[in-house]
Amino acid sequence: MPDLDVVLTDVTGRDGFQMEKEWIPTDRKAEVLNGILASGVKRLEATSFVSPKAVPQLKDAKEVLARIDRQDAEIIALVPNLRGAEFAREAGADKINFVLSISETHNRKNVRRSVDESLEQLRDITEVFPPDQIILSLGTTFGCPFEGLYAVDKVHAVIGNVADMGLSQITLCDTTGMANPKQVTEFVRRLSADLPEQRFALHLHNTRGMGLANAIAGYQEGIRHFDAALGGIGGCPFAPGASGNVTLDDVAHMFELMGVKTGIDMESLIGTARRMQEILGYELPGQVMKAGTAKTLHPV
Ligand code: COA
Ligand code: ZN
């Protein structure tokens, strides 16, 4: 793939659905995810293998994976521990996304462990899983709702513990949309300069309206992998004030208009976003799904 194009990982099935209070039947989850894949998305974070008490909405993780028409897409599942990693592998996930927060407070609230204990858990997982099948998502990279904004040194120090593991990707997650474009530029520039072998991705939330601007800031510094959720749903249930991921349809539309290829068929994706809105039964934050693409002409 030419260097200027981007790979978008859809996280609707995981970050999106985990925040939904009303039970979404497994068939409806699969319908949405299969619709997303049919529009050309090649990486799908479909669900989480976490405690069903922590996230009841995703207790059907195994059944969801079984119903995905994966075609040639890579299927990813989030895991918080070794046990989840084993479940994910049994269920047929291609990759696992291990989550660990830069914030000690958020990590304890999210996975009930200290950051060091989570790092220990990651080491245990790398003994069982090839590192190139492991993505590390660093929650609250830019700041934490309990601890405030961070400087890049704090993140650098945590990555120092994993830099030699040969992980498939490290995703810098702005869990509650606190980052601004200047901060994203600074973090990505410094981390990619210091760790040129490491593939970094951005996982952005639009909580304060800075999501697309942050994506562009990251793109300009060389980031080519982004997470996003259909219709802009999502958020971490263990972070106060959390709200939607950056919208997959809006991100794809923006890049495509800029001539940056995503491999996604916009009309097909918008159709699935509108269908998901019907299933969820409330107005979704996505904007292109309301207005149509900038190339859609109206009758005079
Ligand atoms: N998948 C399914 N169940 C799991 C599990 C996993 N990966 N890991 C633990 N469990 C179960 C245990 O069997 C136990 O069940 P029981 O109460 O019926 O005996 C229960 O969860 C608690 O297990 P324990 O090891 O004591 O974990 P804990 O209470 O310290 O919770 C986590 C730790 C990590 C399991 C839990 O906090 C969690 O799942 N967090 C995920 C949070 C999340 O998804 N956040 C959003 C994404 S960023
Ligand atoms: Zn998120």
Q: For the chain, what are the domain ranges?
A: 7-291
Please say whether the beta carbons of 147 and 105 come within 8 A. Answer: yes
Instruction: Please tell me the predicted confidence (pLDDT) of residue 251.
Output: 98
Tell whether ligand 1 has an atom less than 6 A from the beta carbon of residue 245.
no
Residue in the block written with tokens 């080519």: 224
What residues contact 255, with CB distance under 8 A and at least 6 apart?
Answer: 6, 219, 261, 262
User: What are the backbone dihedrals phi and psi of residue 132, each rounded to the nearest 5 degrees, phi first?
Assistant: -75, 0
Structure tokens of 253?
């539309």
Torsion angle in degrees (nearest 10) through CA of 256, 259, 260, 262? 40
**H or E segment to which residue 10 belongs:** strand 7-10
CATH fold of the domain at 7-291: TIM Barrel (3.20.20)
Tell whether ligand 1 has an atom less than 6 A from the beta carbon of residue 103.
no
What residues contact 70, with CB distance under 8 A and at least 6 apart?
Answer: 37, 44
Instruction: Please tell me the predicted confidence (pLDDT) of residue 3.
Output: 87
Q: Which of these, 94, 116, 106, 105, lies nearest to 235 by C-alpha position?
A: 106
Please say whether the beta carbons of 35 and 275 come within 8 A. Answer: yes
Residue in the block written with tokens 């939607």: 244
Distance (Å, whole) CA 22 – CA 12: 15
Residue 173 annotated as catalytic: no
Distance (Å, whole) CA 188 – CA 215: 11
Q: Kindly give the parts of the chain with pLDDT less than 50.
A: 1
Look at the pTM and tell me if it is higher than 0.85. yes
Q: Which residue of the set 173, 201, 230, 236 is catalytic?
A: 236
User: What is the best residue among 50, 76, 96 to mutate for testing ligand 1's pocket, by most ligand atoms within 8 Å of CB?
Assistant: 50
Tell whether ligand 1 has an atom less than 6 A from the beta carbon of residue 48.
yes
Tell whether ligand 1 has an atom less than 6 A from the beta carbon of residue 199.
no
User: What are the backbone dihedrals phi and psi of residue 58, each rounded to the nearest 5 degrees, phi first?
Assistant: -105, 20
